[in-house]
Amino acid sequence: MPGEGDRVNVSEWTQVIVWIALVLVLGVVEVFTLDFIFLMLAAGAAGGLIAALLGAPWWLSAIIAAVLALLLLAVVRPRVLHALSRGADPHRTGVEGLVGMAGTVALAFTPSAPGQVRLANGETWSARFAPGAVDRTPPLGTRVVVESIEGSTAVVRIEQKAAQ
């Protein structure tokens, strides 16, 4: 350990204090970000701290910390994220969640002029037909399915069951 023996080496203890501070700061940042990047960096810094406590020079402690942090980021973090996402809700949210959603024509529209659709979630969106999706004007209440969202417009096609 640094400082053992008759003489206390101040630079060794300074190195230990710096590593402890770095581990603590990175740990606190991780608490606020919760993305496991700073946790892996803190673990790397802990490796540097252990090396410093064992008497390694500062440059070797820094190399150990960097290599350990990179290994943890490349190997451990992806596995931790994968393990944590196993139980995650597989449903898409936001605009991505609208793709594939059913709806009905709320304001008549033609293949060339936009109208409106009321989606299954209760939202009303301006809408237009996907290219080649329809060659006629569907009546109000016709069932449609969202193919994509372009800006604030839902691109829809007539639902297969309704088209038959």
> Tell me, what's the pLDDT at 162?
47
Query: Which candidate, 128, 90, 87, places its Cα nearest to that of 107?
Result: 128
> Tell me, what's the pLDDT at 8?
47
Residue 143 sits at the vertex; the CA angle it makes with 139 and 144, to the nearest 5 degrees, is 105
Give the span between the Cα atoms of 58 and 46, in whole angstroms. Answer: 13
Mean pLDDT of 25-46: 95
Domain residue extents for the chain: 10-85, 94-163
pTM over 0.75: no
Mean pLDDT of 98-119: 86
The amino acid occupying position 36 is F
From 8-17, 23-32, 117-126, 141-150, the region with the lowest mean pLDDT: 8-17
| 3 three-state secondary structure | coil
Helices (H) and strands (E) in the chain, counts: 5, 5
Instruction: For residue 27, name the pLDDT band (cuts at 50, 70, 90).
Output: very high
Fold for 94-163, please state it.
Answer: OB fold (Dihydrolipoamide Acetyltransferase, E2P) (2.40.50)
Instruction: For residue 45, name the pLDDT band (cuts at 50, 70, 90).
Output: very high
Residue 156 sits at the vertex; the CA angle it makes with 98 and 113, to the nearest 5 degrees, is 130
Tokens matching residue 85: 């996402």
Query: Which candidate, 144, 136, 134, 135, places its Cα nearest to that of 126?
Result: 144
| Buried-exposed string 56-88: b where 16+ CB fall within 10 A, e elsewhere | bebeebbebbeebbeebbeeebeeeeeeeeeee
Question: Model confidence over 86-97: pLDDT tens digits?
Answer: 765 566 667 777
Instruction: For residue 50, name the pLDDT band (cuts at 50, 70, 90).
Output: very high
Using only C-alpha atoms, what is the Rg of the chain?
Answer: 29
